[in-house]
Structure 1
Amino acid sequence: MPYPFRLNAVASLFVAIAPGAFAAEPDQIPQDMNVVIVSGSRVEHTSFDFPAAIDVVDASRIQDSQMRVNVSEALSAVPGLVAQNRQNYAQDLQISSRGFGARSAFGVRGIRLISDGVPATMPDGQGQPSAFNLDMAERIEVLRGPFSALYGNHSGGVIQLFTRDGQGRPTLEVNTAAGSDGQRKLDVNAQGSSAGIGYVLDVSRFETDGYRDHSAATRDQGFVKLTTAPTAGGKLTFTANSLEQDGTQDPLGTTWATYQANPRANEIDSTDTQSPKRTIADRYNTRKDISHKQAGLAYDQQFGDDRLHVMVYGGNRQVKQFQAFSKFLQVSPSQSGGVIDFDRDFYGADINYAFVRPLGDGKLTTTVGLEYGHSTDDRSGYENFIGNTFGQEGALRRDEQDKLKTMDPYAQAEWQVGQWVLTGGVRRTKLTVGVNDAFLSNGNDSGGVSFSHTTPVLGALYKINPLLNVYASAARGFETPTLNELFYSGSGAGFNFGLRAAESTHLEVGVKAIVMTNTRVNAALFQVRTSDELVVDTAIGGRTSYKNASATLRQGGELSVDTKLGAGFSGRVAVTVLRAVYDEAFGKVTTGSRLPGVPNANAFAEVAWKDKSERIGAALEAIASSNVYADDANADIPAPGYAILNARFNARQTWQGWNFKEFVRINNLLGRQYVGSVIVGDANKRYYEGAPGRNWMAGIGANYAF
C-alpha cells in the first residue's frame, strides 16, 4: 500500500517523540499549546484530546502585520490547507483542504465556512470567504479529515471564524494601511460593555489598483455584534455583517505564453479585428458587483453540565457579473449570454442540545440537533453586448427562480473513560433543488433534483500519557453538485439534472505530543477514496459545465511543530504531502493522473521573535509549494513549484489611555516570479493567474480606552 498507511512509519514517529513527551509534567504545559475548540464536537473541548486534525489560528496571526483583507493571509501556516489569493477580487479566494475544493471556479466549494455559528456556505455547498470580518476576529478553527463529515454536504474540511465579544471599558480604534499596487485600507471600530450589553462595531474600506491589469477593486464592510446574559447561565448573541463591492474588475486567466511574457498581463483577444491589441478583459469589461448582507441570532443556555443552543439566521446576496464569451461570439452572438444577475434570499436555523451523564467509570456527552437551510434565487441572464459594443447588458437570455432546501438531523456522542476518548456521530442530509424557468423561447428548463446521504463518523483517542495521545477516525462524506455546477450541460444547453453526488470514505490516524514543555507536535496520515468525482466538462469564458467522471484517491500526511526556542524566539513548521490522483481512467485521463489544482507538497516555516514586553516583534516566513496541473489529463504545462520568503515587523506603544501599533511587511523578498493559482479546466488554456513579485504593506493604528 502507498506510503500514508505504513504503520511502521507511525510507530517510528511515536518512538521518536515519546522520550521528550515523558520529560515534563502536565501542569508545566503552556496554556497556548492546548487551546479550547468547539469545531468537531460542538461543545468546548481541548484540541489535544480530540481525535481529529485541527488547528487554531489566533488573533495575533490574523491581525498583526497583516492588512486583514483576505483570510488566506492567516491560513498559510495551517497544514493540509492550500489558501491562495488569486489577485482577483471578482472571484474570491481559492481554498482547498486535502485536495477538496481545488477545482472551484470561484469562491469556495468542498469546504464548510462558518462565521460566529452562521453558515457562510449556502445549502448547495458554495461559500464566500469574503464575508468573513477579519478586523474583529478572535480566532479561526480549521478542521480537516473524517470529523468534518459531521457538518454534512461539502465538508471536506471546516473553517470557522469566531469574533471577539465586547467587554470592559469603551474603546475606539482607528487603523490605516497601505501597500503595493495601490492597496489602501481604513478601519474604524468600537467595542465595550454597558448596562450588561457587550457591543462590537466595525466599518472598513479597502481599495486596490490590482497587481494584474484590469483587477482594481473596492470593498466596503460593516460588522455588528451584541452580547448579553438574559438569564443565569444564558447568553444571547446577535451578529450582522455586510459586504459591498461595486465594479470589481476581473482580469481572467492567461495562457502560459502570456504569463511568461508578463505575469501582470491579460490575454489579447485574437477575434477583435478593430483593436488587435485589446485584451479580452478590456473588450468585454469583465467585472462583478456584489452586495451581501446577513444577520444571525443565537441563544445558549447552560443547565448544569447540559447546554441548549438555538441559532437562526437570514440574509440577502446580490450579484451582477459581466463575463467574456469570445469563442461563442465567433459562432453566434445571439446565443452568447454573458451577464449573470441574481438576487438571493437565504435563511436557516440550527438547534441542538448537549447533555452529560455518567456512564460506567466515565462521562458520556451526547449532542442531538437539527439544521435547516433555504435559499431562493431570482436569476436572470443577458447578452453582454448592445450592437457592436461589448460589456453592456443586452437582451434577456435567462429568467428563472432557483430554490434550494436542506434538512439535516444529526447526533453525536463522546465517552471519556480512563485513558480512552471514544466518539461517534451520524448526520442525515437531504438537499432539494427546484428550478422554475420563465424564459421559454429556448425551451423549458424547469425541473428539480434531490440528493440524500447519511454520513457516519467514528473516532478513538488513547492517552498513552498526559503528554502523548494517539488517535484514529473514519467517516463517510459526500459532495452534491452546487447550483453553479448544475447550470449548464456540456453542450451549452440548460440545467444538468443528471449529475450525481460524489461519495467518499475517509480514514485518518494521528499523534499529538508535547515535547519538553516547549514544543507541540501534531502529525496525521490520511486516505480518502471518492467515487463519482465531479470534474470540469467544458470551461469557456467563465461558463463551466461539469460531469461525473471517475474514482479518485487522496493519500497524504500532515506535520506541524510549534516550539518556543527561548530568548523571545519561537518557530513553526507545517508540512503537507498529498498524493491526489484519479483512480480510474476516463476519456483522455489515465489512471494515476494527478487531480488538477492540488500540489503534491506544500510547506510553511517561520522563525519569530518578541521582546520580553511583547512590544516589538519580527519574523521571517518561508512558503513553498510543488507544481500544480490545471487540466485533468496533465497534458498541459503545470504551474511550476515555488518557494518565497516574507518578512514582517510590528511594534506597540502605550501612553496614558492610548495604545498605538505599527507594522511593516515585505512579501516575496527575493522577487520570485510564480503562478499564484490556476483556473482548472479552462477550455482556452487560460489557466494561469500570476502572483506579485516583491511587494510591501505597512500600517498604523491607535486605540483609546475611555
Structure 2
Amino acid sequence: MTKYFTLFLIFVCFAANAQIQITVIDAKTQNPLNNVLVRPETGKAQITNTSGILAFSGSEDKNFTFFKSGYEAFSAKFGAGEHIVKLIEKSFNLSEVTVTAFESERPLLEQSAAIAVVSEQDFSRFNETSIVNSFNTKPGIRIEERAPASYRISIRGSSLRSPFGVRNVKVYWNEVPFTSPDGTTALNLLDLSNIRNAEVIKGPSGSIYGAGNGGVINLYSPANPIGGRISADFMVGDFGMTRYKLGLSQQVGNGGFEASFVSQKADGYREHAAMDRQVFQLGGFFSVSDKQEIRTQLLISDLNYQIPGALNADQLAEDPTQARPGSVNQNSSISQQSVFASLGHLYRFSPKIKNSTTLYLNTNDFENPFILDYKKELGFGFGGRTKFTFDGKLAGKDLRIIAGGEYQTSITDAQNFGNVNGVADTVRFADKLRATQGFLFQQAEWDLMENFMLTFALSENFSSLEIDRQINASGGQTGLQERKFDPIVVPRFALNYQFNDYSGAYGSISSGFSPPTIDEVRTNEGSLNLDLEAEKGVNYEVGYRIGKGKLNLDLTAFYFKLEQTITTYTNSQGVVLFRNAGYTDQKGIEAAIDYALIRNGVTFIRDLKIGTAFTGNYFKFKDYQKKDNDFSGNDLTGVSPNTLVTRLDLRTKPGVYLNLTHQFVDEIPLNDANTVYQDAYNLVNMRFGWARSFAGKWELEAFAGVDNLLDESYSLGNDLNPFGGRYYQPAPTRNWYGGVKVAFLY
C-alpha cells in the first residue's frame, strides 16, 4: 500500500510540474531566435529569451503559433516535453522565392521570364504613401507620379500612350482583373495597405493575360490571418501630409477575415496639388473542406486630387511650386468613388486536377473638371477569370497543362461639358460607352529532361469598343459607332535550363498586342479616332539567375520590336490626341545584384544587405514620319537610357534599422524631335526607425525618414510632346516624415 501511495505522490508532483518547453531556432543557421512571439490556442502568449527558449505549464496537447519579423509564420501542436521549432526566414535567395507568374506556381529560378518581386520589405523601406519608390528600385520598371495619386507606369518602355493614367499594363488584384476592359487601370484607388506583395512580369505576356505589350502586375492582399490582431498606424510629413490606418484581422476556424480603413491627405508641394483618399477593404478566406476554398474581397475607395498641370521652362524657373495658369480657376481635379467586389473559388478535383475561378463586379463615379472642359462618367463593369490546372506525365516526364478564359465588359454614361470657373456648364457631347474584351488561353510546361523545361502557350483574343453618341452640340454625327478588332492569336515559347539547385538560364519568344483605349479613341474635344490601330509586338529575351547563400544575381537582355506604335501630340487648344507611328526598335539589358554582408547575425548587427539594379533602355524610332519631319532613328520619347539604383539595409539587435536608397536617372528626351530633355538627376531617400515586440502581445514601431535628401530639382513624370512647351511637372524638394505603428495580438 505504501508503494502505491508513493507512486501516486510522484505522479501528482510530475503532473503539477509538467510543462511544454519549446526552443526556437533558425532553420538554416540553427542559431537560437529571441523575441519570437509564441501564442497558444488558450492562455497568455510569451516571447522567447536570448536562448530561444520558453515554457508553458500543463501537459495537454495545444496548438501554438509562432511569429517573428522576417520569418514565415508557423503553427503546430505540442504536448508535455521538450520540442524544437525551426523557423524559416522569408525568402532572400532567388532559389527560394516562389512566384505564381503565368498561372504556374514555381520557384523563380524555374520561371522562363523576367519577373520582379516587390515584397513587404520593399514597401516598408519608404514612406508607405504610394507604390512609386518601392517599384522603382526594380530594373525595367518606372512608375511616375506627376501629382499626388496621379500615376503612370512604364515597364520596359515609354509613357507615350499615357499622358495621364495607367495604360498598356495589365493589373490583377488577388487574381481578379483590376484593369478595366477599355484598357485603363485606376491603380490610385488602392492604398499600399491593400497590397502585401507584387509580381511584375516584364514584356509581352498575352499568352496568359490577354492584351498588353507593357507587362503584367499581379498584386496580392495581406495573407490569411493567424489568430487575432488589431493595429493602428499614424504618420505625418511635410507639405501637409497625414495618414492613418486602422486594421483588424481575425482567424475563424481554418479561415478568417481582415478589415482595414486608411485615410491619407496632403496639401502637396505645388499650388493646387492637394489629395484626399479614404479606402476601406474587407477580405475573407474560408476553407470549406480539403477540396474547396473561398476568398472574398470588398474595396470601397473615395479619391479626390487636384491637378496642378505642367509648366514651361520660364514658369519653372520663376516658381516651380506654381500651378499651370488656369488650373486653379477651372478647378482642374479628379473626384472618383468606386466599389470593387470579388468572389473566388478553388476546387481540387483530385491531386492532379484543380480549378480556380474568380468573378468581380465594380462601379465607378468619375468627375474631372479640366482647364478645357468638364467630364462626368458613371459606369459599372463585371467579368471573371477561370483556369484549370492538370499535373501529370508525358513520356514519363512531368507535364503541367493550364487552360482557361477571361471575360470583361463595362458600360459607362459619359458626358463632357463646358467648364466655367470649375462648374459644369452646357453639355458639349454625351455618349453611352461599352468596352468588351475576352480571351481563351492554354499553356503546357513539359520537363523534356532533367533540369530542362519547355513552355508553349497561346491565347485567342477579341475586343470591341462601342460609342453611342447621344448629344453632339457642335452638330456633328450622333448614333452608334463601333470598332471590333480582328481576333488575334498570341503565342509564347520558352526554354528553361537549371545548371544546379541555385542557378539557371532561360530564353523566350513572346508576342503581344494592345488595342487603343476608349480615352485614346474618344478625345476631350469630341472627335472619334476609330481608325487607330492596335499595337503589336514581338519580344526576344534571354536571362540568367543565381541564388546561392548570400548572393542573388538576375541578368536579362531583350529585343522588342513594336509595330503601329501609338504616340501622342497636342493640338493648338491643348488637347492630347493619338496616332500610330510606324514601329520602334527596343533593345535593353537589366541587372539586379543583392548581397547579404551579414544575415541573421548574433552580434549587434543582425542584418546588413546591399543591392543594386541597373536598367539600360536603348530604344529608337525606326520608322516615324510626322508631316515633313522624319524622326526615324531618334531616341524613344520619355525613356531614360540608363537608370541605376543602389540600396543599403541595416537591422540591429535592439531593433534599430536603417534603409538608404540612391537612384540615378539619366537624361530623358521629352519630345519626338529629341530637342528637349529632362536633365539627369540623383534621388536619395532614407528611412530609419525602431521596432520591437513586448509582453508577447504588443508590437511597436517608431520611424522617420527623408525623401529627396539632396534637394534635387526634377520631375517625376513629364508631359511629352506638349503644346506651348509645357513639359515640366516639378516633384517635391527635400521633405521629412515620421510616424508610429502599434499592434495588439490577442
Q: Under a length normalisation based on structure 1, what TM-score does the superposition of the two structures give? A: 0.88
Q: Which has the higher contact order (CA 8 A, sep 6+)?
A: 1
* CA drift at 1:113: 1.1
**In the alignment, what sits opposite 2:105?**
44
Equivalent pair of 2:93/2:552 in contact (CA under 8 Å): no
> Taking structure 1 as reference, are residues 132 and 601 closer, same or farther at Cα in structure 2, changes over 3 Å only?
same
**In the alignment, what sits opposite 2:429?**
398
Q: Does 1:678 align with 2:718?
A: yes
> Taking structure 1 as reference, are residues 589 and 676 closer, same or farther at Cα in structure 2, changes over 3 Å only?
farther
Q: Does 1:663 align with 2:694?
A: no
**In the alignment, what sits opposite 1:646?**
685
**In the alignment, what sits opposite 1:415?**
446
Q: Does 1:264 align with 2:321?
A: yes
* CA drift at 1:653: 2.1
Q: Does 1:607 align with 2:648?
A: yes
**In the alignment, what sits opposite 1:559?**
591
**Separation in 2, partners of 1:214, 1:663:** 29
**Separation in 1, partners of 2:652, 2:408:** 48
**Separation in 1, partners of 2:241, 2:235:** 8
**In the alignment, what sits opposite 1:22?**
none
Equivalent pair of 1:422/1:459 in contact (CA under 8 Å): yes
Q: How does 1:231-310 map to 2 (within 5 A)?
A: 231-246=289-304, 248-267=305-324, 279-302=325-348, 303-310=350-357
**1:215 aligns to what SS in structure 2?**
coil
> Taking structure 1 as reference, are residues 38 and 606 closer, same or farther at Cα in structure 2, changes over 3 Å only?
closer
**Separation in 2, partners of 1:403, 1:419:** 47
* CA drift at 1:535: 0.9
Equivalent pair of 2:270/2:322 in contact (CA under 8 Å): yes
**1:68 aligns to what SS in structure 2?**
coil
Equivalent pair of 1:29/1:518 in contact (CA under 8 Å): no
**In the alignment, what sits opposite 2:410?**
375
* Matched letter for residue 610 of structure 1: R
The counterpart of 2:674, out of the listed 630, 634, 638, is 634
Higher mean C-alpha displacement, 221-230 vs 466-475:
466-475
Equivalent pair of 2:147/2:307 in contact (CA under 8 Å): no
* Matched letter for residue 354 of structure 2: R
Q: How does 1:406-555 map to 2 (within 5 A)?
A: 406-416=437-447, 417-440=449-472, 441-444=475-478, 446-451=480-485, 452-488=487-523, 492-515=525-548, 517-538=549-570, 543-555=575-587
* CA drift at 1:541: 6.5
**Separation in 1, partners of 2:159, 2:360:** 25
**2:147 aligns to what SS in structure 1?**
coil
Residue by residue over 1:606-642, the C-alpha shift from the partner in whole angstroms, topping out at 9 and shown as x without a partner, is 11111247x221022101111112222223x211111
**1:438 aligns to what SS in structure 2?**
strand
Equivalent pair of 2:101/2:199 in contact (CA under 8 Å): no
**In the alignment, what sits opposite 2:95?**
34
* Matched letter for residue 355 of structure 2: L
**Separation in 1, partners of 2:190, 2:575:** 27
**Separation in 1, partners of 2:522, 2:204:** 30
Residue by residue over 1:241-287, the C-alpha shift from the partner in whole angstroms, topping out at 9 and shown as x without a partner, is 121124x21101111221122221223xxxxxxxxxxx321221211
Equivalent pair of 1:37/1:141 in contact (CA under 8 Å): no
* CA drift at 1:410: 0.6
* Matched letter for residue 500 of structure 1: E
**In the alignment, what sits opposite 2:618?**
579
Higher mean C-alpha displacement, 604-613 vs 173-182:
604-613
Residue by residue over 1:33-81, the C-alpha shift from the partner in whole angstroms, topping out at 9 and shown as x without a partner, is 335444432131111111111111111221x254433111320211100
Rg (Cα) greater in structure = 2
> Taking structure 1 as reference, are residues 539 and 359 closer, same or farther at Cα in structure 2, changes over 3 Å only?
farther
* Matched letter for residue 591 of structure 2: L
Question: Structure 1 vs Structure 2: percent identity of aligned residues?
Answer: 20
The counterpart of 1:124, out of the listed 167, 182, 204, is 182
* Matched letter for residue 400 of structure 2: T
* CA drift at 1:643: 0.8
**Separation in 2, partners of 1:497, 1:29:** 50
Higher mean C-alpha displacement, 179-188 vs 293-302:
293-302
Q: Does 1:314 align with 2:361?
A: yes
**In the alignment, what sits opposite 2:143?**
83
* Matched letter for residue 577 of structure 1: G
* CA drift at 1:121: 0.9
**In the alignment, what sits opposite 1:699?**
739
**1:61 aligns to what SS in structure 2?**
helix
* Matched letter for residue 213 of structure 1: E
> Taking structure 1 as reference, are residues 539 and 323 closer, same or farther at Cα in structure 2, changes over 3 Å only?
farther
**Separation in 1, partners of 2:571, 2:636:** 16
Equivalent pair of 2:206/2:513 in contact (CA under 8 Å): no
Q: Does 1:341 align with 2:372?
A: no
Equivalent pair of 1:148/1:156 in contact (CA under 8 Å): no
Q: How does 1:155-174 map to 2 (within 5 A)?
A: 155-174=213-232
Residue by residue over 1:363-414, the C-alpha shift from the partner in whole angstroms, topping out at 9 and shown as x without a partner, is 01000101000001111111102xxxx2211001111100011120110111
Higher mean C-alpha displacement, 296-305 vs 180-189:
296-305
**Separation in 1, partners of 2:476, 2:131:** 42
**In the alignment, what sits opposite 1:332?**
none
> Taking structure 1 as reference, are residues 101 and 351 closer, same or farther at Cα in structure 2, changes over 3 Å only?
farther
**Separation in 2, partners of 1:229, 1:379:** 42
**2:273 aligns to what SS in structure 1?**
coil
**2:294 aligns to what SS in structure 1?**
strand
The counterpart of 1:230, out of the listed 288, 294, 312, is 288
* CA drift at 1:101: 4.3
* Matched letter for residue 176 of structure 1: F
C-alpha RMSD over aligned residues: 2.0
* CA drift at 1:527: 0.7
* CA drift at 1:539: 5.2
Structure 1 unmatched ranges of 5 or more: 1-26, 268-278, 326-337
Residue by residue over 1:438-496, the C-alpha shift from the partner in whole angstroms, topping out at 9 and shown as x without a partner, is 1044322630001132110000011122222111001111111110000139xx55211
* Matched letter for residue 162 of structure 1: Y
**1:33 aligns to what SS in structure 2?**
coil
**1:283 aligns to what SS in structure 2?**
coil
> Taking structure 1 as reference, are residues 28 and 513 closer, same or farther at Cα in structure 2, changes over 3 Å only?
farther
**Separation in 2, partners of 1:232, 1:61:** 34
> Taking structure 1 as reference, are residues 57 and 28 closer, same or farther at Cα in structure 2, changes over 3 Å only?
closer
**Separation in 1, partners of 2:238, 2:358:** 41
Structure 2 unmatched ranges of 5 or more: 1-87, 599-605
> Taking structure 1 as reference, are residues 573 and 231 closer, same or farther at Cα in structure 2, changes over 3 Å only?
same
Equivalent pair of 2:140/2:156 in contact (CA under 8 Å): yes
* Matched letter for residue 311 of structure 2: T
**Separation in 2, partners of 1:703, 1:575:** 37
Residue by residue over 1:183-227, the C-alpha shift from the partner in whole angstroms, topping out at 9 and shown as x without a partner, is 000100101212443111000110000111110111111111100
**In the alignment, what sits opposite 1:333?**
none
Equivalent pair of 2:552/2:594 in contact (CA under 8 Å): yes
Equivalent pair of 1:67/1:699 in contact (CA under 8 Å): no
Q: Does 1:617 align with 2:657?
A: yes
Equivalent pair of 1:409/1:429 in contact (CA under 8 Å): yes
* CA drift at 1:510: 0.8
* Matched letter for residue 53 of structure 1: A
Q: Under a length normalisation based on structure 2, what TM-score does the superposition of the two structures give? A: 0.83
Equivalent pair of 2:235/2:243 in contact (CA under 8 Å): yes
Equivalent pair of 1:146/1:507 in contact (CA under 8 Å): no
**Separation in 2, partners of 1:281, 1:671:** 26
**1:684 aligns to what SS in structure 2?**
helix
**In the alignment, what sits opposite 2:78?**
none
Equivalent pair of 2:130/2:191 in contact (CA under 8 Å): no
**In the alignment, what sits opposite 1:5?**
none
